[in-house]
Amino acid sequence: MLNRKVIKKKGKIIAIVFKKSLKAKGVKFLTPNDYTLQLGLLEHPKGKILKDHQHNPKVKYWVNTTQEFLYFEKGKVKVKFFDDDWGLVAEEILNAGDFLLHVSGGHGFEVLEKCRMIEIKQGPYPGQKMAKVYKDDE
């Protein structure tokens, strides 16, 4: 793996894994414009000024899926990626500084070393019973 790996099954993207070695000069968006969760990498030199701004409240977004961003701050985790029918698509070991965007299907984690992850996904949160479907519940 270089610094980005796209995990797919039959042309459908399940997840995109990014290694901490990924670089950007300025602003580099890592997702297509139509993704419901936009992921960008920003690297700027000391002294760079980013213009003050707000996001346009007139722009409305339509979200039909939950995409999830995970940043692995500490430790080591094995991530399993599944398609929509719970078929195992791939497994990846992620270390401190790596991050991923879960796009579709499912995933599971095995903590190999004590870890700390930061998760971002769309809201509002519908509650525990509505938020997830577990493989073992089928």
Report the pLDDT averaged over residues 117-122: 91
Q: Write down the pLDDT at residue 6.
A: 94
Domain boundary assignment for the chain: 4-44+64-122
Q: Which residues is 4 bridged to in the sheet?
A: 18
Q: What is the pLDDT of residues 3-41, one digit of tens each?
A: 889 999 999 999 999 999 988 989 998 988 888 889 999
Q: Write down the pLDDT at residue 125.
A: 67
Closest by CA to 79, choosing from 67, 93, 96, 99, is 93
Radius of gyration over alpha carbons of the chain, in Å?
Answer: 16
Backbone phi, psi, residue 47, to 5° = 95, -10
Q: Are strands 40-43 and 12-18 parallel, antiparallel or unpaired?
A: unpaired
Q: Which residue has the tokens 């992921």?
A: 39
Tokens encoding 3: 């610094």
CATH node for 4-44+64-122: 2.60.120
Inter-residue contact 118 to 73 (CB < 8 Å):
yes
Report the pLDDT averaged over residues 95-114: 96
